[in-house]
Amino acid sequence: MKKPSLLLVFLVLFSAGLMAQNLRIVNDAELLERFKPGVQPRIINFWATWCKPCMEEMPYFLKADSLYGGKIDFVFVAFDRLRDTARVMQKIAEYKIPGEHLLIKTADMQNLINAVDSTWSGALPVTWFVSEKIKGSKQDSFEQFNDLKRFIETFLKLKD
């Protein structure tokens, strides 16, 4: 009886993996590396499959990627548990979430939250803009695409 259920889990993970090939499980240090300035600006969004506002704003990121792709790197960090990896991969595929995808493996989530930003309560969704000179965040969901667009445009102007 275990073989069919293991096979089913493998098939779900494999098929979702084809759509979300770049989902990586990272530790605290690997995640914090994403907050260091890079060659181009980066949007870092923390989300979870169980977070309704997170899922509602995902289509805005797809649209932003089509508008700013190549000018901005998009990084999505799932706050789901490791045992929910298949569900994370399924949501990435379902919503066609662009960019790099990370799932956190940490011993102390609160310590990680404080390391990312001491003003962040850990509430989701939250989005950061990171560039060579600027780091700023929106600690709430984007109600519509134009809110995300304004957020990005504001930081792109400050970057120059």
Which sign does the torsion angle of CA 4, 49, 47, 69 carry? positive
Which residues of the chain register pLDDT less than 50? 1-2, 5-20
Model pLDDT, residue 133: 83
Model pLDDT, residue 149: 97
Q: Identify the domain containing residue 116 by its residue range.
A: 2-159
Q: Name the residue with tokens 């929910």.
A: 84
Which strand ranges, in their side-by-side order, compose the sheet holding 23-26? Answer: 23-26, 100-104, 73-78, 42-47, 126-130, 135-138
Residue 86 burial by Cβ neighbours in a 10 Å radius (0-12, 13-18, 19+): middle
Model pLDDT, residue 6: 45
Give residue-wise pLDDT tens across range 54-92: 999 999 999 999 999 889 999 999 999 999 999 999 999
Question: How far is Cα of residue 24 from the mean position of the Cα atoms in its chain?
Answer: 11
Contacts of 154 (CB under 8 A, 6+ apart): none
CATH code of the domain in which 92 resides = 3.40.30.10
Domain count, the chain: 1
With CA atoms as reference, report the closest residue to 21 among 83, 89, 85, 68: 89
| DSSP per-residue codes, 39-71 | SS-EEEEEE-TT-HHHHHHHHHHHHHHHHHBTT
